[in-house]
Amino acid sequence: MDNQKPHYLEHRKRLRERFLKAPEAVPDSEIIELLLGYVIHRKDVKLPSKDIIFEIKKLSNIFDGNLKSVKGVGSETVCFFRILQEFIVRYEYQKVEDTSLDLSKTDYVYRFLKPKIAHASKEIFVIILLNAKNKFIKCKKVREGFIASVNIAAREIIEFAIENDALGVIIAHNHPSKDPHPSESDLIRTKEICHALYHTGVTLLDHMIVSSHEYYSMSAYGHVGQFYDEAKRVLGKR
């Protein structure tokens, strides 16, 4: 009887040793190979790992790609990466929550939002509450369909902010098309929300549209300031 261990076990051992010695030197396909080794125990996963990279092009697309189309990838692997995605979402959220991260910088907001909504196949609308120093208070996620009704959105924003003693609000949603540029309806809705919030004491700081690789900040591009200037002319001084 041949008691020789499968060749891939020694390969996995060497790969783990290389990773522990110099993680940054390990290529993306081998990072995936290391991960798959914890899901697929009795099979060489080198080829499926390379096929995954071929399918998704680069590691940052891992939650966007169609892993089911890759030969050798089953439901357990798909489930594993969904768990990994949720782990990252919770890690980023709790890190912000625990450290009261300053979210006045759009890059920080995008870093927080990306794992949360950027990879979703449906539009998701998010409300982030901040205090007077732009520190994070709370985040609320409302799923598909919410963004279509501005009146409900404005009321929801106001109630959520008042309940949590928030003075600043950042709203955001994703574009599954991966193009973060705002549509005409996105701009109209943002304008109406600015007007609805104008006399409430709650300020809309930004409306961000995110995709898996980039984002669009309506504040950075001057839209939010413009909408508040229009509100001042139409509704009077606060």
In angstroms, the CA 225 to CA 191 distance is: 10
pLDDT score for 1: 44
Task: State the SS3 of the chain.
Answer: CCCCCCHHHHHHHHHHHHHHHCHHHCCHHHHHHHHHCCCCCCCCCHHHHHHHHHHHCCHHHCCCCCHHHCCCCCHHHHHHHHHHHHHHHHHHHHHHHHHCCECCCHHHHHHHHHHHHHCCCCCCEEEEEECCCCEEEEEEEECCCHHHCHHHHHHHHHHHHHHCCCCEEEEEEECCCCCCCCCHHHHHHHHHHHHHHCCCCCEEEEEEEECCCCEEECCCCCHHHHHHHHHHHHHCCC
pLDDT score for 146: 44
Same domain, 119 and 208: yes
Same domain, 121 and 197: yes
Same domain, 25 and 112: no
In angstroms, the CA 202 to CA 204 distance is: 7
Q: What is the pLDDT along the chain (238 residues), one digit of tens a residue?
A: 456 667 778 888 899 999 999 999 999 999 999 999 888 888 888 888 998 988 888 888 888 777 878 877 888 888 999 899 889 888 877 776 666 666 778 988 998 888 888 888 788 889 999 998 888 898 888 766 445 444 567 888 999 999 999 999 999 999 888 889 999 989 999 999 999 999 899 999 999 999 888 999 999 999 999 999 999 998 877 6
Could you tell me the residue range of the domain that residue 151 belongs to?
A: 100-235
pLDDT score for 143: 61
pLDDT score for 193: 93
Same domain, 35 and 134: no
Same domain, 48 and 159: no
Closest CA to 192 of 222, 235, 159, 161: 235
pLDDT score for 112: 86
Q: Answer whether residue 1 is part of any domain.
A: no
- Domain of 118: which CATH number? 3.40.140.10
Instruction: Indicate the average pLDDT of the chain.
Output: 85
Same domain, 80 and 104: no
> How many structural domains compose the chain?
2
Q: Answer whether residue 91 is part of any domain.
A: no
Q: Flag whether the pTM goes above 0.85.
A: no
Other beta carbons within 10 Å of 60: 13
